[in-house]
Amino acid sequence: MRTRRTVLVLSAGTLCLAGCGSPGDGSNGGLAVETADASVAPGETARIEVQASSVGVLTWQLAEIPERWQVTHKGFKPEPTAVRESYPPELVWDPVVDSVTGTLAVAVPNDASPGEYALAVEAGTDAFDERVVSEATVTVEGAA
């Protein structure tokens, strides 16, 4: 059993330290958030996969994404206990959950200009705590 406990402690420590090399990297104790980038053509929907741990509040901001682009949340497991329709919108889990996964769907209009657009996703244990941020890039590809 001693070996198993040692492996578990080392694994937990490694998970907590993963990515701790720079400020704003998405790690603050157990609180973390990670996003995946997406590439789409104009008129398609970009799907940003989100994973977070020790989270009570998750929100997103349209950093470089035009305001008229619609961003919706889909398939979060577990489902949030509340959704605050504010700006920025907030998904709330009460009590704080160990792990959450889901998708942010970004509807890219037909007339979107090719380029890279940032979507900042923030997580916190509650609305007033320090937040961690992961920035996803939505790449809109030009016409072939």
The domain ranges of the chain are 32-140
Residue 143 pLDDT > 50: yes
pLDDT the model gives residue 1: 34
pTM value surpassing 0.85: no
What would the DSSP string read from start to end of 39-87?
EE-TTSEEEEEEEEEEEEEEEEE-SSS-TTSEEEEEEEESPPSEEE-SS
> Exposed e or buried b for every residue in 92-113, given b needs 16+ CB within 10 A?
bbeebbeebebbbbbebeeebe
pLDDT the model gives residue 105: 96
Determine the Cα–Cα distance for residues 142 and 135; give it in Å rounded to an integer: 22
Determine the Cα–Cα distance for residues 83 and 51; give it in Å rounded to an integer: 18
User: Average pLDDT, stretch 106-132?
Assistant: 90
Share of the chain above pLDDT 70, in %: 78
The domain 32-140 having CATH identifier 2.60.40.10: the answer here is yes
Residue 21 pLDDT > 50: no
Residue closest to 48 by CA, chosen among 68, 73, 84: 73
Between 122 and 6, the higher pLDDT residue: 122
Backbone angles phi, psi at 80, to 5 degrees: -65, 150
22-67 per-position pLDDT tens digit: 333 334 459 999 999 999 999 999 999 999 999 999 999 877 788 8
Determine the Cα–Cα distance for residues 104 and 49; give it in Å rounded to an integer: 7
> If residue 20 lies in a helix (H) or strand (E), which one and from where to where?
none
Tell me the average pLDDT of the chain: 81
pLDDT the model gives residue 16: 37
Lowest-confidence region among 21-30, 44-53, 73-82, 135-144:
21-30
